[in-house]
Amino acid sequence: MSGYSQKCIARLESIGAPCNGWVCQDVITMEDATFTCELCDYDRIRYVHVMVHPQWNGEFRVGCVCDGTMSGNMLAAQERDDVAKRRDSRKRAFLKKQWVEHPAGFMVLPKTRRTITAEIDSFQRILQGHRWR
């Protein structure tokens, strides 16, 4: 068991929370790796796993290792983390593409198998940094 897993379990025990049986409700992508795990205090997390338990009021926002420890399935936690990384990578690649303004007042992504369009207002919100899921 890693040091982070041990810290996670020790923290859960110290506050009287269940040590296993947690479920990952969501994985949130942060802008950069500056989030600190609420259980083990690891401070370079970018993909935050939101953990819930039927016998606990509230949630914990943790990293991949604490997710694996709390859920009892490290492989599933790593897969959730990998899915979030792939989704983020696709989003970043998509946003780097060269959009063109169409005379009819919308944005077009040329050189794609299908024509992709976006309303200019929506497109500008995306470029200004509004988060996608």
Long-range contacts of 11-20, Cβ-Cβ distance < 8 Å, separation of 24 or more:
11/39, 11/40, 12/39, 12/70, 17/53, 17/56, 18/53, 18/55, 18/56, 19/70, 20/70, 20/71, 20/72
Tens of each residue's pLDDT in the chain, 133 residues: 788 899 999 999 999 999 999 999 999 999 999 999 999 999 999 999 999 999 999 999 999 999 999 999 999 999 999 999 999 999 888 878 888 888 888 888 877 677 777 777 665 655 555 444 4
Give me the residue spans of the domains in the chain. 3-93, 97-128
